[in-house]
């Protein structure tokens, strides 16, 4: 039996949690569109997130992020990967709750650090001590991410496909998100 997506699933969590990779795998399994709010913002602005942060500042970026998320949530049901800071906005949390369900890919600091430490595309980590910055962001954000409708813990030894399966199982158990279709 195939599975039908009844609501948009917004994948939230820290940078490096696997939102894009796992989100794409979920979308492929469920045969629904995959959208990435950061990619949509970059396309609309014709510049990278880092360039937007540098030129226009984080406040401007967050404003555009909310506009894009609102627009994407109005489109067809999909898997939507959001930027790491998107869920910090009460407005974004309300938009997601009203139009879908948030799934937090919860990952431990060590996993996140292993995944982001060699990347220079993370504007918030362009600091003198990126590890401490990441640690601080995790401490600030985890209590907010905990408001997501579902929490799925990322395990270091799970493949992207295994994580996608874990999320799909959580969505099925949650009810009202995925239905079996003949």
Q: Which residues are annotated as a binding site for substrate?
A: 38, 62, 84, 141
| Contacts of residue 90, Cβ cutoff 8 Å, sequence gap at least 6 | none
Residue ranges for the binding site for Mg(2+)?
20
The span from the first CA to the last CA of the chain, in angstroms, equals 5
Cα torsion 60, 99, 164, 25: sign: negative
- Output the known binding site for ATP: 16-21, 122
> Whole-angstrom Cα distance, residue 168 to residue 177?
10
d(CA 113, CA 130): 9
- Choose among 98, 97, 89: nearest CA to 66: 89
Q: At what angle do helices 58-74 and 90-99 cross, to 10 degrees?
A: 10
Binding-site positions read: 16-21, 38, 62, 84, 122, 141
């Amino acid at each position: 039996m195939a599975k039908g997506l009844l609501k948009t699933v917004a994948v939230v969590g820290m940078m490096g949690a696997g939102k894009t990779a796992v989100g794409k795998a979920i979308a492929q399994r469920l045969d629904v569109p995959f959208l990435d709010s950061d990619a949509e913002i970059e396309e609309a602005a014709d510049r990278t997130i880092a360039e937007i942060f540098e030129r226009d500042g984080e406040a401007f970026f967050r404003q555009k992020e909310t506009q894009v998320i609102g627009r994407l949530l109005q489109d067809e049901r999909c898997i939507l990967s959001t930027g790491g800071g998107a869920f910090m906005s009460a407005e974004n949390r309300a938009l997601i709750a009203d139009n879908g369900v948030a799934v937090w890919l919860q990952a431990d600091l060590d996993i996140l650090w292993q995944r982001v430490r060699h990347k220079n595309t993370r504007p918030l980590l362009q600091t003198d001590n990126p590890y401490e910055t990441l640690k601080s962001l995790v401490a600030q954000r985890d209590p907010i991410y905990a408001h997501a409708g579902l929490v799925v813990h990322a395990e270091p030894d799970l493949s992207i496909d295994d994580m996608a399966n874990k999320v799909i199982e959580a969505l099925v158990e949650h009810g009202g998100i995925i239905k079996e279709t003949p």
